[in-house]
Amino acid sequence: MSHTLTLQEFYSEYLPKDSASQCVLSPKMGHFNVFKRGGMFCKRFTQIHRTDFYKIALVIGTGLLHTEEKVVEVKGKALIFYNPAVPHLWESLSEKQEGYFCLFNDHFIAPSMTDNNFRNSPLFNTNLDAVYHLTKEQADDLSIIFKKMMEEVETDYVNKYDILHHYLHILLHQAHKMQPVNSASDRYTNASSRICSLFIELLERQFPVDSTEQSLKLKTPHDFADRLSVHVNHLNRAVKDVTGKSTSEIISARIANEASALLRHTDNTVAEIAYSLGFEHPSNFNIFFKKQTRKTPKMIRTAL
């Protein structure tokens, strides 16, 4: 079974040993880096995996983006956003793979977590498209941004991370501009949309679950309403208006999705998974999981 790919593992896997020092996880700044695609960075994976870092890639080439829910084909040029909570793999189909990618962790973007540009982006909102197909002109414009990021990373300028934050904002704005007019990103202009956005952010920040020693803190609509300082009925109306689904439905679906990922990609016992997802008794977890997926946890495990 696969596991969560960490930043340290990424650097050990893809960079020469004498370059391992590049993976500096600063307690003050977090981590950010940018690379050209191609060569060893685009070797084919065999297993879907999650990461403990975010990634944005400008892909020039042909390949398939695999997630547990679907496969997206890329022919030519695309901007791809990788959410750490979504298991994925990139399968290169053409020998020539070009472009760029940047990667960064939670700590690096912490100052921007309250910014709508970040919250309403594919990096956090799994309801938005992760792949944006590009024209040659769009790809050329984005290449300039990635090149500037590469140049900035190499400087000794004391405020270079502020500049890199700005470049990230530009990439996210490009994604917003390419979303359809009626997409979810265009509905964040009223109070309901803002509350729904904050709810989705709180929900997603609990995942992926990497420890069996701690249980989810936010599990019910009331938990989220208390954290957001709104009445639970107000939260339910806002979420229903924006998504067409109830707050409970979205929470349950997300927990079930995480449960499936943990069953497939970890060796944790069912009891450990149940506890980490907020269930005191495995029997309650089994009932919940079967109701959500029409399968038992054992059926998921035996199918591997």
CATH of domain 4-180: 2.60.120.280
Look up tokens 């904050």; give the residue. Answer: 198
Query: Domain spans of the chain?
Result: 4-180, 189-302
- Stretches where the chain sits below pLDDT 50 are 1, 20, 182-189
The two structure tokens encoding residue 142 = 């984005």
**CA atoms of 77 and 58, how far apart (whole Å):** 7
Give pLDDT, residue 284.
96
Give pLDDT, residue 38.
80
72, 131 Cβ separation under 8 angstroms: yes
Report strand pairing: 50-51 vs 4-5: parallel
- Report, at the CATH architecture level, how domain 189-302 is classified: Orthogonal Bundle (1.10)
Give pLDDT, residue 183.
46
Give pLDDT, residue 260.
92
pLDDT in tens, 25-56: 666 778 899 999 986 566 555 578 888 899 99
Q: What pTM did the predictor assign? A: 0.62
55, 213 Cβ separation under 8 angstroms: no
Give pLDDT, residue 122.
82
48, 2 Cβ separation under 8 angstroms: yes
